Structure 1
Amino acid sequence: MSLRRFALLSFCVLLAACSKINQENYSKIKTGMTKAEVESLLGSPTDCSGALGFSSCTWGDQKSFISIQYAGDKVLMFSGQGLK
């Protein structure tokens, strides 16, 4: 294996290991937190949508994710799946 391939593979493994989408960070989410507080904990969301003052944002992928519903700027409900 070339050095370049090895470096790329190592980087990908490290990146996956450093995911903020985990049980530890999920347990820090509380109802009433602001979007800014959540994003400082989890980073930028993978996807967001909303209307009429309500929004829903998701971090992660189909296997492992955290989903948060906001009313205005505050966490209303949240759920997670596949967290380690």
Structure 2
Amino acid sequence: MRLRSLVLLLGCVVLAACGKVNQENYAKLYSGMSKAEVEDLLGKPSECSGALGMSSCTWGDQVSFISVQYAGDKVIMFSAKGLK
């Protein structure tokens, strides 16, 4: 019974995180937004990488995702795939 509860809880956490990766939130992104504003909108990113003041963060998975590129703390580009 305990394992079943753990699996259910994990499933809810995953669905809640993916729930913000949608067309509605993508439409709210704009160039010049701060990282904090993007994270307030989309939550914590799935992964980030970068160097020399440039960075890129992704929310979602391989099928449905939003990708945001930053220069310093500001959005310079963003793209998406598979949003509903």
User: Do both share a fold (TM > 0.5)?
Assistant: yes
Residue segments in structure 1 that go unaligned for 5+ positions in a row: none
Q: TM-score, normalised by structure 1?
A: 0.82
Percent identity over the alignment? 68
Partner deviation per Cα, 1:24-81 (whole Å, 9 max, x = no partner): 0000000000000000000000000000000000000000000000000000000000
Per-residue deviation, 1:14: 8.8
**Alpha-carbon distance between aligned partners in 2 of 1:47 and 1:5, rounded to the nearest angstrom:** 28
In structure 1, what is the Cα distance between the partners aligned to 2:62 and 2:35? 22
Deviation at 1:16? Answer: 2.7
TM, length-normalised to structure 2: 0.82
2:40 is aligned to 40
Q: Between Structure 1 and Structure 2, whose CA radius of gyration is higher?
A: 1
> Is residue 21 from structure 1 mapped to residue 4 from structure 2 by the alignment?
no
Q: 1:23 to 1:50 in 2, by over 3 A?
A: same
In the alignment, structure 2 segments of 5+ residues that lack a partner are: none
Matched residue type, 2:63: K
SS at match of 2:75: strand
Matched residues, number:
81
Moved over 2 A (4+): 11-18
